[in-house]
Chain A
Amino acid sequence: MSSVVKALRAFVAGSGAIAVVKAPPGSGKTFTLVESLEAGMKSHRRIVIAAQTNNQVDEICQRIADRYPERSVVRFSGSGYQRPADIDERVVFIDKKNAIPDGPVVMVATVAKLALSKFDGDFDILFVDEAWQMAWADFLPVRHVADRYVFIGDPGQIPPTVAIDVDRWESSEHPPHQATPTLILENPSLVGLRTELQLPTCRRLPYDSVRLVNGFYDFEFDSDAKPGERFVRPTKKATAETPAAEGVDRALAAMWSTSRPTTTSIIQMPTPTGGLPVGTDIELARFTAAVVARLLERRCEVSTKVDEKNAPRPLRPVDIGVVSTHNLMNTAIQNELRALSPKFASIRVTTPERWQGLEKPVMVAVHPLSGVMSPSAFDLETGRLCVMASRHQSACFFVTRDHVSATLDDHLPLADQALGCHDAVGKGHALHRAFLEYHRERNLIV
């Protein structure tokens, strides 16, 4: 049992007010949450867990049911919400507040559902999953559900969505649109009330990828994987007949050019001299699909864990995920994949927002700055890049037009944040450059 689970169990069983658990990608966030419930059950607590989406809530319910087969778990849902067909039968669905059982209980609900009912300390502890995606203003309506809180999430991921003009609060001491744990950790009055924990080890990513992704975080974490333990390796030689195939071959060669394989690379395609295509870059979508096809054509094998190091398994289409920041690009990639083979229909292609919490052995990612000649604050925000670079178990291939490095070098970012705020754009620019520099130093840009 990890020290964090121990500490969190002690917190749950004790009387501390607030625990904040920083969880790097693939560090066992949900596992830690579910394990720590044991202390609550033993001490007969009433526990409620809030997540951001119905899918997340259902998954947590299932994980609890799996871990505590002797217990039931209450799923508090909207009245029209359909029970998923494959969820454990011990998950009890209720939609009315007065149906919540008395006494010790574990209940799971979306934040939105909890915010609609009036609570006043009905539960002992409120767990908030994916807490860095929750704006402070979204937490406050549910704060009276319990008077002790556990916030657990990944601080490096995409910040809460803000769809309105927030100038009025940008310089406030407690900006309501900021992520809840950030406000809690920055509030000096809470020092004596909060327990700060951090999951120390990333289990998902290969060793070198952890070093790369750690650059997006302001704290250090380790890799569960040993150097060279996880990889993608081609087993078949085949003549490369397209630039994408050549790119994959060169990327694989670069990744295997050292004694221990590296697991990320950037495959570039030329930026047309007459300028980039306007709108969706169909050529890049085709290129991306061809990268996927080439990995399968080379009959790559993957090692996703220590047991597979010496017995890697064949890479299948379903083992590959594709991510790009724009829906139109994702559609184009999907169309290109289908055109290449009907088998590729099983490949998930979507945005970083929808990849959060998910993983695949191999990811193919369209670099978020590809085609962006004048990066905006949105483009330079690194949460999306961090999500893209942290979904893989074996390897991640970025594809991009080859202007990105020069674009970043020539870009002089403005610091137009509100008074007293951090220069997030400047930081994003620096992190984007560091990301490219990491690959350049290792000859991983092909």
Chain B
Amino acid sequence: MTNEIRTTRRLRAWHEGRPLPRGEKVNVHVGDDDEVLCLSFVRMGGESLPWGVAVGHPHQEPRIFTVPDPRDRDMVADMMVEVGKVLLEHFGHPSFASDEDEAMTMYEFRQIWVPGVSHLELLHSIAFAYARTAWERPEVEVLRALGNLANCLFVEAQRPGQQTVVVAPHALTTAFDFPSSPVRQAHLGHLLAWMGREKSRESRLRAATEAENLSVATTLDPEFERTRLESLVERWNAPPRDQRTAKGKRVARDIDNVVAEQLRHRHALVVRTIDVLRRDTRGANPGLAELVRIGTTKFARLWWDQVVRERSANPDERPYWPGLRGDNNARQAAFAYQQRVASSRQALHSLVHGDRTLQEEELQRGHGVRAKVVAVEAGGARWTLVYDFPSLPDIKVGGSMAIAGAPKMQVRVMAVSNSDRTIVVAPNWSAPKNSTGPLAKRAGDPTWRGRQLILIEDFPVHFTESSSYRILDKTESGFDILDHFRHSIATEIVEPIDGGDE
């Protein structure tokens, strides 16, 4: 049903000939320029590490890093050391901060924006390459720190409601419904072209289709790669393969020019996305502030705390770095899973009350009702409501719901009858709740009767949070089934990183 909403909205956008705002608010947090780092990659076809990287704050010239041939693992590592320093400094890694002592005291919210999912996946590959590397080379500790940060960013990006890693096309499709197929909406250039200044649908469509011809993924268009780079790379690999020679310098510069142009294009698209969202007159969902606050704590726990532990001289304070392929440890996997479930509930809880469109989507999913209060009894301890939407809500007796727009005004579901469409609930407040505007009435107030409300399912997040910590509890009574779920050593073997194709 919710898919059908997206379908109808897409058709309406087509009819209007332009993207239509989705929701009453923008549900993506856009940090300040100094909080945001835009990160774009280009990689060679078939390779999993970068050929080049663009990194920089919005509205500043990005720093561009490239290598002549990304199959040369030493060159790539040299480049990634420099990229790593920029990223680590941005996220406040104490070793790269201007004031190391101050950086050790707290983690502050930081964001990265990437032009698409493939760029996020490349962070995962960087993590594999460097987080556990035993390579003996200069500044290998920078590579390891970069690998761990990349892995933590990749893991955090999967947490529902997080605002630390933003995939630009996702941000745009969260904020707008576009008149093109979902497959095409992965392309940031395509989306931004739809938002351009052209007057008609046809001209916007033409612009969007043309924009697709320029790849914004980490890989280049194969034809572009063949015609613009293949011969240069061949020349680079012809002896003498040395950046210090005149030929080496010239070819390396030519390759850099081509790759850098591609990187700048990706970077510019990300910055345009940020500008579009900042200019949006709808304003940000007020619930985003809570998600940013929670996200800062979560990412600090995931990454920054481990950095601090790593630097500690205390042997008991060993860092816990998340696994690269997942959590093989049964306890950790279950804990991380429950934490993510809690985050999913938190994200909904934080945003749904600030945006009617999200409320509608919840109703369409059956996770709430539009209902009229028909009886206020027992001094407000019991309300009876008759709902008219959806036809068969998927709400559970014993569960909690909140009045849309007033998250603190919750009710417990006592009974549901689908045959006569009634629900009986017990409000959790008696005195009026402050700061709920016209809803600030005691539960027993007779004027509730006859009032139409939207009630949204609201699973208490702290229940899931606290039960997730039960997973980590150790027993004092002896038997713990988890002692029999040790993960096999084989899957944890870290293969030596060969790099390149040798």
Contacts and interface: CB of A to CB of B under 8 A. Distances in A.
A contacts B: CB pair < 8 Å: yes
Interface of A: 17-18, 53-55, 78, 80-82, 112, 115-116, 118, 120-121, 135-137, 140-144, 147-149, 163-177, 183-184, 187, 189-190, 193, 279, 327-328, 330-331, 334, 345, 350
A176 B333 contact: yes
Given A121-B475, A174-B485, A176-B337, A144 B327 contact: no
Nearest to B475: A144
Given A18-B481, A143-B480, 9 more contacts: A17-B479, A120-B476, A140-B471, A144-B470, A147-B477, A166-B337, A172-B333, A174-B333, A327-B392
The 4 closest A-B pairs by CB, nearest first: A121-B477, A141-B470, A331-B391, A147-B479
Contact of B341 (A120, A143, A164, A171): A164
A144 B477 contact: yes
B334 A137 contact: yes
Contacts of B337: 135, 137, 164, 166, 169, 176-177
Contacts of B473: 118, 120, 144
Contact of A112 (B326, B334, B463, B475): B463
Contacts of A167: 158
Contacts of A174: 328, 330, 333-334, 485, 487
A124 to B, nearest CB: 11
A168 B397 contact: no
B306 interface: no
B192 interface: no
B488 A141 contact: no
Contacts of B160: 164
Contact of A168 (B335, B336, B394, B486): B336
A78 B398 contact: yes
B338 interface: yes
A80 B467 contact: no
A189 B485 contact: yes
Contact of B468 (A18, A78, A141, A173): A141
Given A144-B473, A149-B481, A174-B485, A81 B394 contact: no
Nearest to B413: A80
8 contacts: A115-B467, A137-B337, A163-B341, A169-B326, A173-B487, A174-B333, A187-B484, A193-B484
A140 B327 contact: no
Contact of A173 (B390, B391, B480, B491): B491
A189 B485 CA distance: 7
A328 B4 CA distance: 13
Contacts of B486: 189
Contact of B392 (A142, A176, A187, A330): A330
A331 B392 contact: yes
A384 B399 CA distance: 24
A164 B340 contact: yes
Which of the four size classes fits the interface of chain B?
35 or more
B344 interface: yes
A18 B482 CA distance: 13
A184 B485 CA distance: 9
A168 B471 contact: no
A173 B489 CA distance: 11
A144 B487 CA distance: 21
B292 interface: no
A187 B485 contact: yes
B451 interface: no
Nearest to A112: B463
B412 A141 contact: no
B300 interface: no
Which of B327, B333, B336 has the most chain A CB atoms inside 10 A of its CB?
Answer: B333
Nearest to B468: A141
A183 B335 CA distance: 16
B426 interface: yes
A62 to B, nearest CB: 16
A53 B341 CA distance: 19
A11 B171 CA distance: 55
A328 B484 CA distance: 45
A120 B327 contact: no
Given A80-B412, A137-B338, A168 B475 contact: no
A110 to B, nearest CB: 8
Interface of B: 1, 4, 155, 158, 160, 325-328, 330-331, 333-338, 340-341, 344, 366, 390-392, 394, 396-398, 412, 414, 418-419, 426, 463, 466-468, 470-471, 473, 475-482, 484-488, 491
B398 A54 contact: yes
A135 B398 CA distance: 21
A131 to B, nearest CB: 13
Contacts of A176: 330, 333-334, 336-338
Contacts of B327: 168-169, 172
A54 B397 contact: yes
Given A164-B344, A189-B484, A327 B390 contact: yes
Contacts of B463: 112, 115-116
Contacts of B330: 136, 140, 173-174, 176
Contact of A141 (B328, B333, B471): B471
Nearest to B414: A82
Contacts of A175: 333
A193 B480 CA distance: 12
Contacts of B390: 327
Nearest to B345: A163
A108 B495 CA distance: 49
A144 B479 CA distance: 9
A215 to B, nearest CB: 30
A328 B333 contact: no
B138 to A, nearest CB: 33
A327 B344 CA distance: 24
Query: Which residue of B327, B330, B394 has the most chain A CB atoms within 10 A of its CB atom?
Result: B330
Contacts of A135: 337
Nearest to B471: A140
Nearest to A354: B394
A64 B1 CA distance: 41
Contact of B467 (A141, A165, A328): A141
B471 A80 contact: no
Contacts of A184: 481
A160 to B, nearest CB: 11
A144 B474 CA distance: 8
Given A82-B414, A189-B485, A165 B158 contact: yes
Contacts of A144: 470, 473, 475, 477, 480
A400 B485 CA distance: 45
Interface centre among B412, B418, B467, by most chain A C-beta atoms within 10 angstroms, is B467
A116 B333 CA distance: 20
Given A172-B326, A172-B327, A147 B366 contact: no
Counting chain B CB atoms within 10 Å of each CB, the highest count among A121, A164, A165 belongs to A164
Nearest to A168: B326
B328 A142 contact: no
Nearest to B412: A80
A325 to B, nearest CB: 12
Nearest to A121: B477
Contacts of B480: 143-144, 147
Most buried by A among B338, B366, B398, B475: B398
- Give the interface centre of A55, A136, A173 by most chain B CB atoms within 10 Å: A173
Contacts of A330: 392
Contacts of B366: 327
Contact of A55 (B155, B344, B397, B412): B397
Given A136-B334, A175-B333, A116 B478 contact: no
A81 B398 contact: yes
Contact of A121 (B333, B334, B478, B485): B478
Contacts of A350: 392, 418
Nearest to B391: A331
B110 to A, nearest CB: 22
Contacts of A172: 326-328, 333
B419 A345 contact: yes
Nearest to A18: B481
Contacts of B476: 120-121
